[in-house]
Structures are given as structure tokens and as C-alpha cells.
Chains A and B, each alone.
Chain A
């Protein structure tokens, strides 16, 4: 679409403001994490590493971090297995039951967090699952399942099933066909599902706040209680560490992908 120069300038300015609005909150934790005083007031005073030391040495923080890693890893594996199986099942069903079941399996995405949280809390109180690893893994798995389902289904939709027929006609058994033909071709979908499931669990807060207890806290719960209790810059240090970790992971992934694509050409 052609635009007058003035319209063009206004469009650019508006988008610049929106971009700043999107990005600034992510970056503001970085300067706060080096604050010398125990305060979250802006601008930060002086420079110190003490909040990073606190994160590494204070058992409250390090335990909750390890808990989150443990829960998220288990959830990633469980949700990916269940989600991939379900995606295969739905792909090979008739359209009508498949659509119905798919809608059912996507409900965890739209049910308001607090409603789900009080429901799970009620059930967990009876089943004595509050504050247990099993409880966290089960709840997070169901929340992560839709993301795996979407990622794997998208990959199955473009997968050419004649390739399986070809493998079968050449004498491969069902398992060999799956291992040597189907699995390598849908692996990108499964891997991105795995990543999404891990991130969903690592980040989950609403349900976690209800099913937590002093013996088992995940990192988001610890962050939340720290924010509501006092202005502790350790939270900013945690935020900065997470930001760096994701940047390295995503940057590395993009570099690897780019190199692979170039290699193929």
C-alpha cells in the first residue's frame, strides 16, 4: 500500500513505541539486579553481585530452582509422550470424532487459571497430593499437553503418508517404518513440543500457587512470594539469569538451524 510521507513517519513512530513497550519490561530487571541497596526503587544505587550470590547460596532460592528443573524435565517427557501418541491417534481417526477429541484436549488452554487451580486444589487435598512431586507433574503435564498436541499435529498434517505405504510395500514392518521413516520426519514437531512443554511447566504459577506447600516450592512460586513479601532484588537477579539463559539457548538454536540450512543448500 502506498502512503503519504507523513503517514509513514507516524506509522514508524507508533511501532517504535509499541516495540519499546514490548521489550523494556524484559530488560528493566537487568540494572535492578546489580543494586547495592535492598530496594527495587529506580534508579538503582551502586554496583554489587550480592543478589546473584544470594540466589546461589540461599537454600530457599536454589532449592526452588532445582525443584522447577526437576518438575519441568519430567513434565516435558511425559507431556511429549502422551501428546505425540494422541496426535497420532487423532491424525488417523475419522474427522468428526477427531475434531471433538481435539477440542476436548485443548480445553486446558481456555479454562481460567484460578478455576482450574481451585478444582485441582480440592481434588489434591482429598488425594493428599498437595506439595508433592507427583501432584506438580500431573497438573503441569495436562497444561503442557495442548502445546505438544498442536506442534506434533501441525507436523503430521504436512507429512506425506504415502512414504509409509512405500516403506511397507518394500517389506518394512510397522515398527521399522515408524522408526526409520515417520519418526525422523516429524521429529521437529516433537522437539518443539518438548521445548514448549518444558517452558510451560517452568513458568506455571497460578495452579502451582495453590498446590504448593513449604516443603515443595517451584521457582515462580518463590518469586511470587518474594515479590509480595518484600522488595528483594534477588528476584531481579533471577530474572536476569533466566533472560541470559533463554537468549543463549534461542541464539544457539538459531545459529545451528541457520548453519544446517546453509549446509543443505
Chain B
């Protein structure tokens, strides 16, 4: 790979053409500034200036118990979704590394099939599955059990969100597990470790970079989820995104909605910034074999 080889001779550059790469990125950057940068700036400004200049919208947000409950619930639901994803993805990704190529293809297809239909249709499927007259409840009833209430509950929201986000956990986990040298586990076994001990002291630590990477992606995506909680959830499982939408579209409170949006945005970026160095150093460790 020449890109990694510092001695590769490059195409002779004419003097004065050093700006050319920057010119190539310019159209994309302009669009980025116009359609992402300017709108986000507008939201920040509105959160500070409507109805008048000052931090009143933030004071309101952090002063109202209702908002804090929703903020806390957003974190709780995201955390549950992350936990469910890690627990389900770990054995699945491991099996992907352990089986032959044909079975692996089937397993990969199962991960990718959810992407084949549009996200909204998938949420509709969850409505069909979870509703009181839905698939799960009719199966339970035909097996002689009582029906359970799933739709418009927090459990239902977690089940639906975790299914949507599971591929984002499985794929990074698989790419890390694929690179683990299984001879290290054999070495531990030959030195007398029981299989469970070999797993917990050798395999698990080596797979953690994948867990971190996947968990961070899932948690951050879950924080900003809007469609699934809106369709599967009820008033007692409202997440921050729905609250932002209500403030802006129904109440026309751009200042308050903007302040909530900024809180969500800042949380996301702080989490990313916190996670970036951890993930980078773990990756380096895993790469050093």
C-alpha cells in the first residue's frame, strides 16, 4: 500500500498549485456551512435571544422538574438500549468469527436485512408486533398467558430502539474480534486456565475496544432518537427530541426549543470528545501484537 509508504514518489507538483486540494473541498465545505453551520448557529442564537437576550431559556430548562425528568429518562433509555445491544451483540459477533464462511454470510445477511426497508416502515413493524392486538400478544395469548402491555411503555421503546441500533454494535465488535489472535487463548489454556478463566482474562479484555466503539456509537445515536420513541412511546416515555419538536412546532417557543436542542447537541459532542482519546488509545493497544 503506497499510501503508507513515505518514500513513494508523488506526482510532480507544479509550483503554486498547493492550494488545489483545498479548492476541491471548497464546494462541500460551502454547503456544510450553509446547511449545517448556519442553521446550528441560528438555533444557538435563538436560544439566547428569544424572547430577549439572556440565559432565561436555559434557566427555565434546568429549573423545571418536568424537563429534568425527560433529560434523565433520555439518558436512562439510551443506557438501557446500549446495555441490551452489548449483551445481544457480543455472542452474535463472536459466533460470526467462529463459524465457516457460508454460515457467516447468513449471519451477516441477518444483520444487514434491517437496513433493506426504510426506517419508518421498520418502526411500523414494531407497532404491529408490540401493540395490544399485536403479534407478541397474540402468541402469548394462544400459549395461554395473559397479554402484556408493550406499546406506549418504556420497555417497548427500548426493544424497538435496540433492534434498530444493534447492527451499529455488531459490526465494530466483529471487526475487532476478527483480529484477536486465538493462540493467546490457547496459550492461557495450555498454562492451566479453565475455559471461563481464559475467556475473562484473555479474550474479553482484547475485545473491549470493539465494545467501547460500538457502545459509544449506540449511546450517542440513541440520545437523539426521534421517530421510534414518537411512534412506540407514550407520554410516560417521551424523550428529549420529542420535547424539542413540541416546543418548536406546537408552541412556537423557538427560544426554549433551541435551548433544549443546544443541551442535546452539547451533550453529544462532550460524549464524543470524552470517548475519542479512550477509543484511539485502545485501538493502538489492540493493534500492537
Contact = CB atoms under 8 A, between A and B. Distances in A.
B166 A22 contact: yes
A11 B198 CA distance: 17
Given A112-B264, A168-B11, A205-B227, A26 B28 contact: no
A81 to B, nearest CB: 8
A247 interface: yes
A15 interface: yes
Which secondary structure characterizes the binding site on chain B? helix
B2 A227 contact: no
Given A22-B166, A115-B224, A145-B28, A29 B43 contact: no
Contacts of B21: 88-93
B261 to A, nearest CB: 4
Given A92-B21, A120-B35, A220-B119, A22 B110 contact: yes
Contacts of A113: 224, 226, 241
Contacts of B248: 118, 121
Interface string A251-263: 0000000000000
Interface in A211-244: 219-220, 223-224, 227-228, 235-236, 238-239, 242-243
Interface string B242-255: 00110011000010
Interface in B1-54: 1-3, 8-12, 20-25, 27-29, 31-32, 34-36, 38-40, 42-43, 46
Contact of A122 (B39, B133, B134, B199): B39
A122 B46 contact: yes
| Residue among A22, A82, A110, A165 facing the most chain B CB atoms (10 A cut-off) | A22
A71 interface: no
| Residue among A89, A120, A219 facing the most chain B CB atoms (10 A cut-off) | A89
Contacts of B120: 203, 205, 220, 223-224, 227
